[in-house]
Amino acid sequence: MKRIFTTILTVTAVAILLLNPSFFASAAENETVFIQDDETYPAHIVPGRIALILSDTAIADSDRYQKTLDSLGGRPIPTLSDVIVVVEAPDAKDVKSLNAVARGLMKSWPDLVVDSGILVKIGNSDLPYVLTNKIVVQIADDADVGLIQTIAERYHCEILGNNPFDKRQFVIKLFPDDARNALEVSNALNSLSSVKFAHPNFYRPIEKRQAPPVPNDAFFPNQWHLNNTGQAMGTPDADIDADRAWALGPMGPGNPNIVIAIIDDGLEANHPDLADGLWTNHAEEIGSPNVDDDGNGFIDDLHGWDFTPCITPVSCGDNDVRPRLDELHGTAVAGAALARANNGLGVAGTCPRCSFLPIRALDGTDYAESLAIDYARMIGADIISLSWGYASGVVLPTNVVNSINSAATTGRVQNGVSKGIVVVVAMTDIVEDNCDGTPDLSSLANVIAVSSATNQDQRLPAGFGTCIDLLAPTHGGTLDAVTTDRIGDIGYNNRSPVSPCASAEPAPPPPSNRDYTLCFGGTSFAAPVVAGIAGLILSHDSSLTRLQVQRLLQDTADKISPSGGAYSEQTGFSAPVGGLPTHGFGRVNAFEAARTVAGRDISGHGGVDVYVRDNSLDWGNTEQPSNVTFEQTRGFIPHWQSADIKVDAPPYLATQPASSTEFDAFVDEMPLSNTVNRVYVRVHNRGTQTATDVQVKLHWAFAGAGLPALPADFWPAFPANSTDVSIWHPLPAQTIPSLPYSGASVAGSSNDNSIVLSFDFPAPVYNASMNNPDHFCLFLVVAAPDDPVSQISAGSQVPDLITPSDNNVTQKNVHLIDSGNSSGMKSQLIVSNPFDHPINTRLVAWRPKDWNVESTGVELGKRIELGAKESLHADISITSDGQPSASISIVQLYKASDMDEERILGGITYVVAPNIQPAIVPSPGLIENVSMQEKLVAEYLKLVAETISKPDARSEDRTLLHRLGILIEEQSKLLAGLDAARKDFRSDH
């Protein structure tokens, strides 16, 4: 009875709307509004033009396409697919006359035109949508689904069918004689409580997010984004470390049971580097032709589906995903994620053994795009990769948004539980905020938003904002991206030589190389790279949820270009002062992400990765030492300034920090001598499994620039005390019974489960006559049964080598306060050799201008020989010419007989004023060699200029050398910046 009463009320409401002509009134001719999700956008009907959607027959080849354009008098719309053409209709000024012209042309050319519409501009976008006479209607969950019949009758519409993935969603079509347009009717429907949403089945402007322009070039096998060795002046290791990820056991290169759906324009699924990985519908494979053998509503969907023709649910699409003549994008995108490896052919995708589900949908309507996503969910895809989005200012279609959210929240069902599909979305290639204003698909909370990085570990200017999650390699820097291309002469890489591409050849590529392109790029490439890494993660543990996969990708990202990224010390997320986030959590690292969940028997962490942080940029990665900064030219950040150790000197904090947020809020203090200080330590777990029985042990030692060697039985005894505690003084070990996930993705939030412990540290009596330094180090070790200290660490007694390479170990050098010291900064430290062999060593001081550092006992910059385990004392004096604060590091460099270059051993940082961060400084030797590099650059520039000016130089050579000249000039600018830094930040050596 209640349902009947609700239906009567709804029908009455519909009737009232029909009797209210003002509901369809416009403020002015051709001016109206578009209502979606309770938002109202201004809309303008474009007079004098109509849009026609061409059939596959009309665009079978370039000649046929041109004849079609000539016959119709049409031309392509640059922001829409080539399948959509605009035809002038100068006498058609209003909706009724525009629709009449469109219908007339459809009847006149039934073989060429499959749909038509009028052009409308919505919101702030100047790009035209195509408004068809069809509307997508979603009946509210609490309403009778039979209401659609009443709506159709009242609004003079035909019900074309319902969504095969959602029985409450329908497509209706206005009868030809109706003077109203679909925009007005959908607005009316949106006012009904029984309608969840309604909107016209638009053809919306879509961006295929490759780098414009995308030229052609010969195939080249060096895929720097997988393993960067410094090709073409790139930065070594500015990559995703795919080769190391693939080495993680049998599932390292991927698992065929993990399905990655590429939803794009046409996909050349028969490409020799893609065909072997095709997803196969086994029910259709063994079934009968022209029969829906698995009953999923799609006949013979053996290897995916083409939804592009889906104007209506009736006879919707087919199983032919092949690209039309103009469709190059999808095949290149697919190769980035799924090209097969070790098959003797062209390229490798990031997940070369995952299965490839091709779905063609772009250049269709909103309905087609939403169906494609729903189909991927129904098929059981684990990952969906979208290298496209709607053009800037275009309002997002509700049905597409709903399909994405449904895939992410209800897809990938295992044992009745929805794990969620990992949906990866490319941000825009243009530099704009994708997250606020009129948002982009990448702004949706349930997707992974990916922007761009170069082969020099610099952010490539592209989409940014609060919704950005990750950066991934693409074009820019000195090389573009290598991937699959259309087979043969059709594609980015055809018979023409390429001049704009960074990696172009001067001559036409040979036929054997035309199935690949070296000149792809944009976020279109970055997104499937990330999708492939998600595949590697799920290949090791398919039970992970969508959110766990996203967190792994974010937690293990490398903090590239930190000077520009401005990563927060508290969260690890890009947080420029006064600006919007540009780098997200950093550039993806496939090895670090996959290793976290790979089994311990194959050199993984088995889902448990307990870690402590060495500095503000360290969030647990050890593929490179924690003291390396990922700038274009690698730099150094001290590993002795742990972000997880803080001192509370008497009088103590009233309430000890109990959470990560409280720990961050506490201001670190210098300990007082001859009393008990509290030391707070924070421990994290970025693994997907809870760590148990985590042993936490803190030690202290009088220390210096290089820490003293650990006792010989330090590791065998851990967590118990060593036999010799005369140098390294242990504090009683503590146990964390349970340590849940607490990675960077949740740092500082209510979901941050990091554990904070308190240790009582009895600081020794300061006695200058004992020749002990007034400086010591706190050395922290954490270990769990499922995540012990690495075997390499356990085989070493050198703390300064262990710390930056093992995320179970960290240290903090703290200047001991002498309460009787009244002026200046005078300190003692030990210069030691922790090795079992002699070393050549020296001290240097990294300090700002206007600060002076003097050392007696061991002269700054003077190289000295130290025997095995030998140590010397030095007295340090720091003075200023009036500056109130500074961060000054005394660093010990060393070189052994078997070493080619000098390296940093350890150091001490003196913080003269509170809250001064340790300086990030270039690697040793870099500043000293700037002048030589400047000389080499000048010589290269001279050579390039001479070559370009030769009268007989080929145009291709000139182009290539011109690009090289620009490149070298950029290097020159970098060196000039380093020279300025050298003058501003002095190093005494």
Nearest one of 624, 642, 398, 386 to 528, comparing CA atoms: 386
Q: 833-875, pLDDT tens digit by residue?
A: 999 999 999 999 998 888 889 999 999 999 999 999 999 989 8
Whether the CB-CB separation of 465 and 435 falls below 8 Å is answered with yes
| Mean pLDDT confidence for 978-983 | 43
| Distance from C-alpha of 518 to C-alpha of 222, rounded to nearest angstrom | 9
Nearest one of 386, 558, 597, 353 to 473, comparing CA atoms: 558
| Mean pLDDT confidence for 917-941 | 40
Whether the CB-CB separation of 67 and 53 falls below 8 Å is answered with no
Burial class, 14, CB count within 10 angstroms (exposed 0-12 / middle 13-18 / buried 19+): buried
pLDDT at residue 475 tops 50: yes
pTM of the predicted structure, to 2 decimals: 0.82
> How big is the chain by its Cα radius of gyration, in Å?
32
Percent of the chain with pLDDT over 70: 83
What domains, with CATH codes, occur in the chain?
33-203 (no CATH), 220-565 (3.40.50.200), 609-624+639-815 (2.60.40.10), 825-948 (2.60.40)
| Distance from C-alpha of 264 to C-alpha of 362, rounded to nearest angstrom | 5
| Distance from C-alpha of 715 to C-alpha of 707, rounded to nearest angstrom | 17
Structure token pair of residue 834: 């922790």
| Residue 344 confidence class, pLDDT cut points 50, 70, 90 | confident
Instruction: Assess whether 329 carries a catalytic annotation.
Output: yes
In this structure, of 6-10, 250-254, 518-522, 699-703, the range with the lowest mean pLDDT score is 6-10
In this structure, of 35-49, 767-781, 887-901, the range with the lowest mean pLDDT score is 767-781
Whether the CB-CB separation of 429 and 207 falls below 8 Å is answered with yes
pLDDT at 956: 40
| Distance from C-alpha of 575 to C-alpha of 913, rounded to nearest angstrom | 23
Q: 174-211, pLDDT tens digit by residue?
A: 988 767 789 999 999 999 999 999 999 998 888 777 65
pLDDT at 508: 62
| Residue 888 confidence class, pLDDT cut points 50, 70, 90 | confident
| Distance from C-alpha of 744 to C-alpha of 765, rounded to nearest angstrom | 39
Q: Which residue has the higher pLDDT, 1 or 813?
A: 813
The distance between the two most distant Cα atoms of the chain, rounded to a whole number of Å, is 105
In this structure, the strands spanning 388-390 and 195-200 are unpaired
| Distance from C-alpha of 796 to C-alpha of 407, rounded to nearest angstrom | 49
Catalytic residue among 194, 443, 524, 742: 524
Catalytic residue among 178, 239, 241, 264: 264
pLDDT at 766: 67
List Cβ neighbours of 359 (8 Å cut-off, separation of 6 or more). Answer: 261, 262, 263, 264, 267, 304, 305, 306, 307, 321, 372, 375, 376
Whether the CB-CB separation of 383 and 422 falls below 8 Å is answered with yes
Whether the CB-CB separation of 425 and 395 falls below 8 Å is answered with no
DSSP string, 742-768: --GGGTTSTT---EEEEEEEEEPPP-G
Q: What's the one-letter identity of residue 564?
A: G
Angle at 489 between CA 483 and CA 495, to 5 degrees: 95
Which helix (H) or strand (E) is 375 found in, with range?
helix 366-379
In this structure, of 59-68, 99-108, 170-179, 616-625, the range with the lowest mean pLDDT score is 59-68
| Residue 763 confidence class, pLDDT cut points 50, 70, 90 | confident
pLDDT at 9: 34
pLDDT at residue 961 tops 60: no
Kindly report the average pLDDT of the chain as a whole number. Answer: 85
pLDDT at 910: 84
| Distance from C-alpha of 558 to C-alpha of 238, rounded to nearest angstrom | 10
Instruction: Assess whether 264 carries a catalytic annotation.
Output: yes
pLDDT at residue 935 tops 90: no
Catalytic residue among 225, 271, 329, 540: 329
Q: Which residues pair with 874 in a beta bridge?
A: 829
Pure H helices in 451-545: 523-540
The interaxial angle of helices 147-154 and 2-18, nearest 10 deg, is 20
In this structure, the strands spanning 448-453 and 459-460 are antiparallel
